Amino acid sequence: MKMKMNMKMKMVFSVASIILISMADSRACNFPAIYNFGDSNSDTGGISAAFYPTILPCGQTFFHKTAGRGCDGRLIIDFIAKQLELPYLSAYLNSIGTNFRHGANFATGGSTIRRQNESVFENGISPFSLDIQVVQFRQFKNRTIDRYVEAIDDSIRSTLPVPEEFSKALFTIDIGQNDLSAGFRKMTNDQFRKAIPDIINEFATAVEDLYKEGARAFWVHNTGPIGCIPVAIRSVSNPKEGDLDRNGCVKEQNDAALEFNRQLKERVVKLRANLLDASLVYVDVYAAKIKLIANAKEEGFMEKGAICCGYHEGLNHVWCGNRKTINGSEVYAGSCEDPSKFISWDGVHYTEAANQWIANQIVKGSFSDPQVPIMHACR
């Protein structure tokens, strides 16, 4: 009798589990498209299309050719698209072979939230700051709607967004790291901290402008631990007590990133109160990246300071894929044998393996506020 009751209970639990899973699936957002805004952490070819193309060995791991990404393969945004069963995003600035049916990517390497009075050739700062990316989206939306309505050929429509799906799309934003690096380069620590509210205000204005254009589902990444990138760590040649944090990263830079993220999160909460029809999910990418860095060996990676591609010895730097004469000899900055063992690709950007690890963490919702998986990030 007891065995029969246990069997019945197991069947009840199994049926209940199936029902709950079905209910969860039915509540999934089924985003038809992604529109992404950001910097090199999510640039799938924008800055490459606008200026000089990326060169091998960038792209070698997954694409087996250059693919406009500052990485050996895919970025976090690529794994987000894969999670949502959508194609990898075409860069808005890429005029060749683009298909925008399921979204577009406005991110460009070197982009900032607040405009910087610098050249891309001087310090790598993109002219396409966040406000310009929003302007580009507005133009993209209006022109593609006109084109879609006027098109008499379905083959043309098949490469364009469906007009009514703009408001159903997911809007992802991953930007801010270059505002920090520009601040470190041009300001004292106190000056930069006083500038953070203005940067956050400009970020909020961009979100509000996208909301006016019909955006309703926002997936907002905070900025990562910039003090943990190998180039930052190696810039402190003779660290004194207090220069590095418990993870061996540049403490002052990580403290600035944490303060930026604190104010960003506060503003996202305020935006929720003002944009009543919107869903704004704040994603703590900083915490996810620190988790990887702190547990690098346990997760199968080399330590945080190791760089896969590039030549960095003392004050001599040759960036990934480039050649330079040092002490009379030509140095080629090639790739390591196995990028999957490294967190850092080129001293600034993460490898595909690290990006995949981080993406697997954040899409579940455990690093999000509110804690919802990306499949349920709509209102």
Residue 47's pLDDT band, with cuts at 50, 70 and 90, is: very high
Phi, psi (5° rounding) for residue 151? Answer: -65, 135
Q: What pLDDT was estimated at residue 27?
A: 66
User: What CA–CA distance (Å, rounded) separates 173 from 36?
Assistant: 6
Residues 49-84 have pLDDT tens digits of 999 999 999 999 999 999 999 999 999 999 999 999
pLDDT over 80 at 327, yes or no:
yes
pLDDT over 50 at 34, yes or no:
yes
Looking at the chain, the whole-number percentage of residues with pLDDT higher than 70 is 93
pLDDT over 60 at 97, yes or no:
yes
**285 compared with 151, residue with greater pLDDT:** 285
Range of weakest confidence among 103-117, 284-298, 303-317: 303-317
Q: What pLDDT was estimated at residue 317?
A: 84
pLDDT over 50 at 16, yes or no:
no
User: What CA–CA distance (Å, rounded) separates 58 from 105?
Assistant: 19
Q: How far is CA 175 from CA 12, 26, 64, 172, 224, in A?
A: 47, 32, 27, 10, 10
**Structure-token match 């396409």, residue found:** 128
Q: What is the mean pLDDT of residues 154-180?
A: 96
Tokens of 310: 């590039």
pLDDT over 80 at 92, yes or no:
yes
Q: Out of 43, 174, 284, 346, which one is annotated catalytic?
A: 346
pLDDT over 80 at 10, yes or no:
no
> Is 311 strand, coil or helix?
strand
Task: Say which CATH topology domain 31-301+352-376 has.
Answer: Rossmann fold (3.40.50)
What average pLDDT is seen over the chain?
Answer: 92
Q: What is the mean pLDDT of residues 279-284?
A: 98
Phi, psi (5° rounding) for residue 369? Answer: -130, 110
Q: How far is CA 17 from CA 12, 14, 376, in A?
A: 9, 5, 19
Q: Out of 126, 181, 349, 368, which one is annotated catalytic?
A: 349
Return the closest-CA partner of residue 249 out of 263, 260, 235, 264: 235
Helix%, strand%, coil% for the chain, nearest 5: 45, 10, 45
346 counts as catalytic: yes
**Run of H or E residues at 34:** strand 34-38
pLDDT over 50 at 149, yes or no:
yes
Q: Out of 40, 48, 126, 344, which one is annotated catalytic?
A: 40
167 counts as catalytic: no
Range of weakest confidence among 232-236, 264-268, 362-366: 232-236
Segments making up each domain of the chain, as ranges = 31-301+352-376
Return the closest-CA partner of residue 176 out of 143, 198, 144: 198
pLDDT over 80 at 315, yes or no:
no
312 counts as catalytic: no
160's CB contacts (< 8 A; 6+ apart) are: 100, 101, 144, 147, 148, 151
Q: What pLDDT was estimated at residue 21?
A: 37
Looking at the chain, the whole-number percentage of residues with pLDDT higher than 90 is 83
